[in-house]
């Protein structure tokens, strides 16, 4: 009995921990799942500093949480949809274990990542949403385009467009890297940087095969979704 208790104590001590900025329940404001009630798990930390970042509060603020505590906290919400985001969630290596565990518990999981970190080890059940950084982000040099080979048709590529130069740059990369044959592509106007109708007109003029979206949560709650 003592041995069993010691083993149980050892397992508990070794339980995976992550630094969590916040966990909340809100309306998904982006991706093809826009409008769906979703649980958001925001991890702390990010190696990028995009000039339009709207979650700088997640760079450092957070608290350590065990995997079991995370699962226990989200089970009260009546949805199967979970989005793991940041910051840059993959900056924490344990994020990979969190993603797999969420899938094991029956959640429909999406990962919002900058694509600046290798995604080859992300659980195949997870929907990867890779935000390719345009020149307007000031982090273009962080893109790892080799991540494209790890995407499937269920995944998504996103470009946040700051101006017409960003649009031209994104269009060029889509064509050169044959992205339209990999997965769905999303163009999102950087909030308050360009008029959404301008982006819509450029897409229509070029007959570009992308999905345009605005950040729904910004129009509902501002910079802090559901808050």
Specify if 54 maps to a domain.
yes
The residues facing 41 across adjacent strands are 23, 84
- Domain extent, residue 207, equals 16-221
Specify if 142 maps to a domain.
yes
Number of separate domains in the chain: 1
- Residue 105 has φ and ψ, to the nearest 5°, of -90, 10
Specify if 6 maps to a domain.
no
pLDDT tens per residue across all 227 residues of the chain: 454 454 444 455 578 999 999 999 999 999 999 999 999 999 999 999 999 988 888 999 999 999 999 999 999 999 999 999 999 999 999 999 999 999 999 999 999 999 899 999 999 999 999 999 999 999 999 999 999 999 999 999 999 999 999 999 999 999 999 999 999 999 999 977 799 999 999 999 999 999 999 988 888 887 655 55
Asked if 61 and 19 touch (Cβ cutoff 8 Å), the reply is: no
Specify if 196 maps to a domain.
yes
Specify if 1 maps to a domain.
no
CATH number, domain containing residue 171: 3.20.20.70
Specify if 190 maps to a domain.
yes
The structure's pTM equals 0.90
Strand spans (E) along the chain: 17-27, 37-43, 63-66, 81-85, 108-113, 127-132, 156-161, 184-189, 211-212
């Amino acid at each position: 009995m003592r041995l069993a208790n010691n083993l149980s104590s050892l397992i508990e001590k070794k339980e995976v921990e992550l630094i969590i900025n916040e966990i909340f329940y809100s309306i998904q404001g982006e991706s093809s799942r826009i409008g769906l009630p979703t649980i958001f798990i925001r991890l702390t930390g990010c190696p990028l500093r995009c000039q339009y970042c709207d979650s700088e509060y997640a760079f450092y603020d957070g608290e350590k949480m065990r995997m079991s505590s995370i699962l226990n906290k989200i089970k009260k919400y009546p949805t199967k949809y979970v989005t793991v985001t940041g910051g840059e969630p993959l900056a924490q290596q344990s994020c990979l274990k969190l993603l797999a565990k969420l899938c094991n518990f029956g959640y429909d999981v999406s990962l919002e990542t900058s694509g600046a970190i290798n995604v080859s080890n992300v659980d195949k059940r997870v929907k990867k949403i890779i935000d390719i950084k345009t020149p307007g982000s000031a982090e273009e040099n962080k893109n790892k385009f080799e991540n494209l080979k790890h995407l499937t048709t269920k995944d998504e590529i996103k470009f946040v467009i700051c101006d017409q130069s960003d649009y031209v740059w994104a269009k060029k990369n889509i064509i050169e890297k044959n992205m339209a044959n990999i997965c769905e592509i999303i163009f999102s106007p950087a909030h308050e940087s360009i008029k959404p109708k301008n982006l819509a007109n450029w897409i229509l003029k070029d007959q570009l095969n992308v999905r345009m979206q605005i950040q729904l949560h910004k129009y509902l709650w501002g910079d802090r979704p559901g808050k």
